[in-house]
């Protein structure tokens, strides 16, 4: 299915998903070893990942505009690329939110959420890699299912986390801050699921 004579769109999409995974791993490391003094540096690193992803996406679209016969429909390539980009943006948003709200310490249950986001991005990354071989791949379906399972895990972490937050805290500012951070964390998993669902849709259309 790849365009052997020219630009490799499947490889380009795989590259975009790698940026998402890098962003998720950086988020996890920042949260696990959280230090306010290092946050500005981590935000710069995250922005560099997000900016590189944007450049790669625009480069792919420039090729696509000139492409005579892409391996799958243009709309599908653009849709997957944009949804992968949404994953990277969503991960960056978590770190930006922590900075904007001047968070000084991380709640103890948050690292588990970042673990789930990393796992979600890993399965999404494999799923995007397998899209090239979707007619023969033995892993694609299981990775899509795994992303969906991890998104449900993220939902549970969100619900339980916010419930416990309101059970054990009466500070209005603290509640507002962590409710928003939880929402941003959940959105990362939702964005991964959007990619998985789009891949599943492409497979159905081309089978």
CA angle 157, 45, 31 (to 5 degrees): 30
**What is the pTM assigned to this prediction?**
0.94
pLDDT in tens, 63-98: 999 888 888 899 999 999 999 999 999 999 999 999
Q: What is the dihedral of CA 152, 19, 61, 55, to 10 degrees?
A: 140
pLDDT in tens, 126-166: 999 999 988 888 889 899 999 999 999 999 999 999 999 99
| In the chain, domain spans | 9-205
pLDDT of residue 70: 87
Task: Determine the CATH number of domain 9-205.
Answer: 1.20.58.220
Distance CA 167, CA 182 (A): 15
pLDDT in tens, 20-74: 999 999 999 999 999 999 999 999 999 999 999 999 999 999 999 988 888 889 9
């Amino acid at each position: 299915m790849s365009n052997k004579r020219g630009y490799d769109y499947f490889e380009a999409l795989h590259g975009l998903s790698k940026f998402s995974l890098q962003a998720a791993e950086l988020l996890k490391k920042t949260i696990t070893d959280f230090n306010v003094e290092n946050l500005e540096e981590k935000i710069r690193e995250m922005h560099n990942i997000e900016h590189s992803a944007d450049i790669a996406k625009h480069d792919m679209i420039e090729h696509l505009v000139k492409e005579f016969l892409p391996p799958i429909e243009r709309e599908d390539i653009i849709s997957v690329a944009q949804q992968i980009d949404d994953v990277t943006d969503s991960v960056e948003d978590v770190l930006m939110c922590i900075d904007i709200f001047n968070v000084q310490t991380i709640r103890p249950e948050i690292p588990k959420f970042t673990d789930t986001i990393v796992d979600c991005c890993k399965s999404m990354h494999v799923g995007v890699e397998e899209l090239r071989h979707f007619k023969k791949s033995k892993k694609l379906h299981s990775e899509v299912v795994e992303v969906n399972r991890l998104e449900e895990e993220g939902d549970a972490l969100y619900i339980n986390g916010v419930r416990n937050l309101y059970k054990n805290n009466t500070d209005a500012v603290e509640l507002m801050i962590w409710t928003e951070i939880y929402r941003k964390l959940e959105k990362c998993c939702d964005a991964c699921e959007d990619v998985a669902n789009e891949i599943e849709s492409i497979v159905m259309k081309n089978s």
